[in-house]
Structure 1
Amino acid sequence: MPEIKERPILFSAPMVRAILEGRKTVTRRAVKFPFIDRAAGCELSGNEIGPEEIRNNCPYGVPGQRLWVRETWYCDHFEVMRGPYLKPDDLDIREALDDGTLVYAADGLTPYEADQPIWKPSIHMPRWASRILLEITDVRVERLQAGEGETAFESRYVAEGINRIHQGDGDYAFHPFKSEPGPGSWTDPFDAWRELWVGINGAESWNANPWVWVVEFKRVTP
């Protein structure tokens, strides 16, 4: 049986928490044009993409392939701290997770609350330190703001990890980061999605309404 192809993907701490809690099952990433059609060997622009080009050329993979998550991390092992982040022969991953030798910023600082770890950027996380593995279930392309006007019930953006906050009497508010009632929440998931995108990519990217890869996934056992 052929080996399943895996690729790394970066997620911020709030999105890591959303994945771990089962709230995030999709990610949207801007399409960078032009890109090369792998089958035809030619460049494609935004006016030329169709279902097959989308499925075959997504840089994050195709359904059935996997993504291993890179997140901000720290490993209290002298060989790891000095780089280049190769896995030491004497490091047992399960034990390192249990005793706090290997920790993740998304989880807070326990058990190192007294001594602030010098966090390693997510881009420097090696495969062996990753704790989250995702299987791609679908890939498509759409405009960033394609779901504007959808009701809160049907909004496609809740699956981005948007918090659905119960306000009482059957009312809900939405926020990309906060999970408790309070100021700054939105009545429309679309607005919470906009806040999330702008926080990562900037207002200019939002206003441009670019084409985005829509990568749906499910979490699987590493």
Structure 2
Amino acid sequence: MLAGKRDRPIIFSAAMVRALLDGRKTQTRRLVHPVLKEGVNPHFSGLRAHRHAGLDWMIHGSEEASAPFRVPYSSDDRLYVREHWKTSIGNNGVAPRDLDQNTPVLYLADSSEHGRCPVGVPGKHRQGMHMPRWASRLTLIVEDVRVERLQSIREADAIAEGLAPALEGYALTRAGECWGPTAAKAYRLLWNSLHGEDAWDANPWVVALTFRVVTGNIDGLPA
């Protein structure tokens, strides 16, 4: 692999995995935490992020506003998707790191009933954060990396996040699927459901990743 290009895990909810599988999701946003210089107003609308060097970015305004900070993603990185999963009941007491790599894996996103993984199949439910690399079935190839304010998201970006407007009103399901009068409004609902009811209003800095989805385990792909 070329220097600077890396393999990293990334976690998605079952609803977002379904969007990946359906080809509806080609973007994701994750929080970043730049360190601003003392006295800089973090809510000043004139602040902009620019790539500094390599993986380092800086926030600029009317004058330099931050020290370089690192964003842990770069174009051509490969991200292996972690998601809610389970194995057969016979493996209930086996830690993920000790599972045989030939162990059959079942995924919550394939369930026809939200919250169960899958319906009617016994076995221990396991969180995405505990999914080993070999059990991942989706790989994302990063094509673009941007640092921006959360509220900078455009309607086209929200659609690329896997969301869509509803014909009437909006709702947020327990599974995290969102509908709204616009896709951007639905994304706001989704963000608050994940990070807290005031999270959108805080307008934090995020890294916006654009990627292509490859169906298959990362270690089965060409180098």
TM-score by length of structure 2 reads 0.71
Match of 2:130 in 1: 124
- Which residue number in structure 2 is paired with residue 68 of structure 1? 80
Measure how far apart 1:195 and its partner are. 0.6
Q: Deviations over 1:107-131 (max 9, x none)?
A: 1179963344321011111101111
For 2:147, the equivalent position in structure 1 comes to 141
1:72-87 alignment, distance < 5 Å: 72-76=84-88, 78=90, 81-87=93-99
Counterpart for residue 61 of structure 2: none
Map residues 1-222 of structure 1 onto 2, 5 A cutoff.
2=2, 5-34=6-35, 49-52=49-52, 55-56=55-56, 57-59=70-72, 61-76=73-88, 78=90, 81-88=93-100, 91=102, 101-108=104-111, 113-147=119-153, 155-165=156-166, 167=167, 185-220=179-214, 221-222=216-217
- For residue 2 of structure 1, report the CA deviation from its aligned partner: 4.5
Stretches of structure 1 that go unaligned for 5 or more consecutive residues are 36-44, 179-183
- Taking structure 1 as the reference length, the TM-score comes to 0.71
Residue identity matched to 2:81: V
- Partners of 1:54 and 1:161 in 2: how far apart? 29
Task: Give structure 2 stretches of 5+ with no counterpart.
Answer: 57-69, 218-223
User: Which amino acid in 2 is paired with 1:208?
Assistant: A
3-state SS of 2:98 partner: coil
**Alpha-carbon contact 1:55-1:140 (below 8 Å) kept:** no
How far 1:186 moved relative to its partner?
2.3
Root mean square deviation of aligned Cα: 3.3
Shift of 1:49: 4.3
1:59-110: CA deviations, max 9, x gaps?
2x20111101110111127457411433416x2xxxx6xxxx3101111179
Aligned length, in residue pairs: 188
Cα deviation 1:25-68 (Å, max 9, x = unaligned): 00011112339xxxxxxxxx976842235854322x20111101
Whether the 8 Å contact between 1:162 and 1:175 is mirrored in structure 2 is no
Q: CA 1:27 to 1:54, structure 2 compared with 1: closer, same or farther past 3 Å?
A: farther
- Over 3 Å counting, the alpha-carbon distance change for 1:77 and 1:135 in structure 2 is farther
Structure 2 counterpart SS, 1:114:
coil
SS of match in other structure, 1:156: helix
Deviation at 1:185, TM superposition (A): 4.3
* Amino acid paired to 2:110: D
Percent of residue pairs identical: 35
Q: Summarize the Cα distance change of 1:88–1:192 in structure 2 as closer, same or farther, 3 Å threshold.
A: same
Letter in 1 for 2:82: R
Residue 40 (structure 1) aligns with = none
